[in-house]
């Protein structure tokens, strides 16, 4: 299905989205979103034909309860109003401190992702991006890992309720997408694929190759846990060797992807070393898969990313560029106006180009498996655990 006129991209954004703020010193600083959107605007991406900026109102309880228990939603609202800690529900921890307006801020993110997904499903947009979304750790009854409400779960459920029969969720955040996987663990309609740093070295400690889904959905949960220090080329090999064949075989009607950019070597919370350029290439891979298998229906979410100046704005500006069909050249200079703003606000320099390196692309899996290479062995462990559930050959497909 090809829409007439210019390519249509819905970009969820308003300054109200900056209200998701755990306070001074917390890694998930709203400044990262402000700097990202300033860079997106300075690159001219928001002024392109077919790009629509839309805000989001806080989701009603009925919508939140498609992803969360009613008691949890009530607990978030209460903590948000009176500041009471509720550790049973994960509210008031160092990861998820309580702040005034927390319920409304987190519920606004959910609306943004749900409305974006429905717009794509209903052919009101070709692609959609919600950089404030991707809160993939939130569980049905508790907050976790900086995530209060799970917008990805709510968005996928909304599309399923609207008639979709197969949805693929692809997560390349450095942390395992545990909340989304848990929600769809035994649902054969949803394929969840997470490429992350191993749970042996990074929160949340889950996402192992043998975690493949419930009894009614074997092979629908897919996990690649990579070792500390993995760089961009082997990371891309893992993404290509697992995500591409499984999504092609599953043939979803819509892809939802989470592009937390904390796999970068400059990120203060993780141990991978994946450049902006490699992450940009993975974004392009997911975009191209959407056009190949599901008529371009693609919803891209943000997620983690805590190198607030050097990484997050560039990585997510690339995501917006790809989603608008106006990709930004990694060799391009960062706009001077943006650098001047960074210097004024933070008193220091920002990155001067949109990329980090001359990216070396990996060998295709079809050219051979190297049992002497640790990343190849980990890729193979995932393929052996999952591929037979999809009638794929772990060694050759």
Catalytic residue numbers read 137
**How many whole angstroms separate alpha carbon 268 and alpha carbon 298?**
30
CB-based contact 248:292 (threshold 8 Å): yes
> In sequence order, which residues have a C-beta less than 8 Å from that of residue 33 and are 6 or more positions away?
17, 18, 131, 132, 302
> In sequence order, which residues have a C-beta less than 8 Å from that of residue 181 and are 6 or more positions away?
192, 194, 207, 211, 221, 223
> What's the residue count for the chain?
397
**How many whole angstroms separate alpha carbon 7 and alpha carbon 5?**
7
CB-based contact 115:101 (threshold 8 Å): no
**How many whole angstroms separate alpha carbon 156 and alpha carbon 221?**
15
**What is the longest distance spanned by two Cα atoms in the chain?**
59
Secondary element (H or E) of residue 169: strand 167-171
Instruction: Name the residue among 210, 212, 215, 167 with its Cα closest to residue 191.
Output: 167
CB-based contact 173:196 (threshold 8 Å): yes
What region, left, alpha or beta, does residue 133 occupy, with left being phi > 0 and alpha being psi -120 to 50 degrees? beta
């Amino acid at each position: 299905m090809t829409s007439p006129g210019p390519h249509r991209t819905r970009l969820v954004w308003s300054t109200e989205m900056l209200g998701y703020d755990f306070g001074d010193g917390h890694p998930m600083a709203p400044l990262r979103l402000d700097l990202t959107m300033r860079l997106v605007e300075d690159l001219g991406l928001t002024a392109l034909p077919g790009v629509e900026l839309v805000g989001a109102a806080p989701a009603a309880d009925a919508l939140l309860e498609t992803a969360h228990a009613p008691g949890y939603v009530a607990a978030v609202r209460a903590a948000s109003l009176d500041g009471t800690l509720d550790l049973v529900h994960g509210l008031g921890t160092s990861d998820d401190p309580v702040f005034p307006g927390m319920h409304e801020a987190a519920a606004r993110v959910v609306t943004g992702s749900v409305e974006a997904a429905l717009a794509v499903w209903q052919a009101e947009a070709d692609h959609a991006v919600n950089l404030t979304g991707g809160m993939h750790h939130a569980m049905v009854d508790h907050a976790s890992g900086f995530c209060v409400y799970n917008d990805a779960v709510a968005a996928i459920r909304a599309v399923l309720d609207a008639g979709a029969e197969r949805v693929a969720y692809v997560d390349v955040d450095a942390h395992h997408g545990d909340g989304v996987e848990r929600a769809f663990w035994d649902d054969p309609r949803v394929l969840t694929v997470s490429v992350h740093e191993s749970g042996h070295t990074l929160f949340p400690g889950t996402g192992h190759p043998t975690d493949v889904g419930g009894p009614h959905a074997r092979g629908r949960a897919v996990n690649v846990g990579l070792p500390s220090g993995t760089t961009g080329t082997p990371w891309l090999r893992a993404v290509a060797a697992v995500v591409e064949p499984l999504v092609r075989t599953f043939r979803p009607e819509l892809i939802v992807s989470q592009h937390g950019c904390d796999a970068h070597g400059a990120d203060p919370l993780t141990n991978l070393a994946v450049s902006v350029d490699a992450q940009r290439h993975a974004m392009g891979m997911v975009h191209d898969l959407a056009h190949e298998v599901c008529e371009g229906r693609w919803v891209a979410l943000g997620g983690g990313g805590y190198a607030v100046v050097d990484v997050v704005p560039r990585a997510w500006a690339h995501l917006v560029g790809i989603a608008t069909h106006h990709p930004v050249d990694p060799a391009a200079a960062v706009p001077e106006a943006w650098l001047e703003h960074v210097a004024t606000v933070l008193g220091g320099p920002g990155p001067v180009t949109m990329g980090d390196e001359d990216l070396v692309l990996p060998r295709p899996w079809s050219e051979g498996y190297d049992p002497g290479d640790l990343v190849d062995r980990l890729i193979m462990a995932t393929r052996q655990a999952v591929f037979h559930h999809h009638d794929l050959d772990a060694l050759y497909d």
